[in-house]
Structure 1
Amino acid sequence: MQRLMKLTVLSLVAIGFAAGCNKKETEEQSSPAPQVTKALSTVVVPAQVQGKWKAVQIEVADKNAHLKKVYSVKIGSDFKLPGSDLTLKVETFLPHFVMEGTTLTSQSNDLVNPAAQLVIRENGKEIYKGWLFSLYPATHAFQHPQYGFTLVDYQPAS
């Protein structure tokens, strides 16, 4: 009799467990996929870098005209690209770019891994915000049907 009761209890537990698993699987199948949240990065310009750089040189390649021209763009200022509807703004320059978790910063004021944070607007609308790396120009390169952008030089503050 006890053996029969144990078998009955074990059977009920097994049925309950199986039903619970099926219910959970059904809930997982019917629930929407989890949302992936992209971690926002923070740019930190260390005191040893602040105010030490006044501009960067950006080479603009006009793919249609097969021409390249270098422009000096002051850090923090808007620059209207001649003959286009584009405005460039270098928000930040980091001479020794490093990424520490979600923080983007510069380890020193030495030109080890120069990077410029660039915002591009077309007819006033932001179409790109990202980084140009002089050592790795193809990394995260902005794709525009007519223009290409490359960080080529940097101008220290006087």
Structure 2
Amino acid sequence: MKVLLKLLVLPLVALSLATGCNDKGKQKPEANRPRPARAPSVVVVPDQVKGKWKAVQIRVADKNAHLKKVYTLNIGSDFKLPGSDLTLKVETFLPHFVMEGTTLTSQSNDLVNPAAQLVIRENGKEIYKGWLFSLYPTAHAYQHPQYGFTLVDYMPAS
């Protein structure tokens, strides 16, 4: 009787163990579902800010030469970084940067949270588009192998 019981129970135990092993590598069905696409951010420059700022100053740190230099970049204009293949462009300056859902805007024209949207191109190819924050210089900082960029000052339009 014990032998008969072993012959019946052992295959059932082996089958349940084998089935359990097959589930270990499987992901839950939720993990395979595509995630919904995130809505792109929209930059809105309010009328109270439009045309009120002409330039920003960005400190560029050359990590290889251990040098830092401040450059004035006119908003909306290309700036060729001397001695490099980089072109910088400040697309937008928001003196009181806020994020409202997917909208990036300025709550006022006061320098509460200054931010500049910077585009960096290398040999004409865009390698970075993001924001520099003067109060939070390391937030979302672009990691270039040779250069570091920091927003340091802002120039109002005359």
Q: TM-score, normalised by structure 2?
A: 0.80
Match of 1:99 in 2: 99
What is the Cα deviation at residue 69 of structure 1? Answer: 0.1
Residues 29/108 of structure 1: CA separation in 2 closer, same or farther (3 Å cut): closer
Match of 2:89 in 1: 89
Tell me the number of residue pairs that the alignment of Structure 1 and Structure 2 aligns: 132
What is the Cα deviation at residue 80 of structure 1? Answer: 0.3
What does residue range 68-87 of structure 1 map to in structure 2 within 5 Å? 68-87=68-87
Q: Indicate yes or no: 2:157 matched with 1:147.
A: no
Q: TM-score, normalised by structure 1?
A: 0.80
Q: Residue type matched to 2:122 in 1? A: E
Match of 2:157 in 1: 157
Q: Residue type matched to 1:53 in 2? A: W
Match of 1:116 in 2: 116
Q: Residue type matched to 2:137 in 1? A: P
User: What RMSD over aligned residues (CA atoms) do the two structures have, in Å?
Assistant: 1.7
Could you tell me how far apart the structure 2 residues matched to 1:139 and 1:106 are?
Answer: 18
Could you tell me how far apart the structure 2 residues matched to 1:127 and 1:153 are?
Answer: 24
Q: Residue type matched to 1:139 in 2? A: A
- State the SS of the aligned residue for 1:144: coil
Q: Residue type matched to 1:144 in 2? A: H
- State the SS of the aligned residue for 1:54: strand
Match of 1:61 in 2: 61
| Structure 1: gaps of 5 or more residues | 1-25
Kindly provide the CA deviation profile for residues 46-88 of structure 1, in whole angstroms up to 9, marking residues without a partner as x: 0000000000000000000000000000000000000000000
- State the SS of the aligned residue for 1:40: coil
Identity in percent: 83
What is the Cα deviation at residue 32 of structure 1? Answer: 4.0
Residues 31/49 of structure 1: CA separation in 2 closer, same or farther (3 Å cut): closer
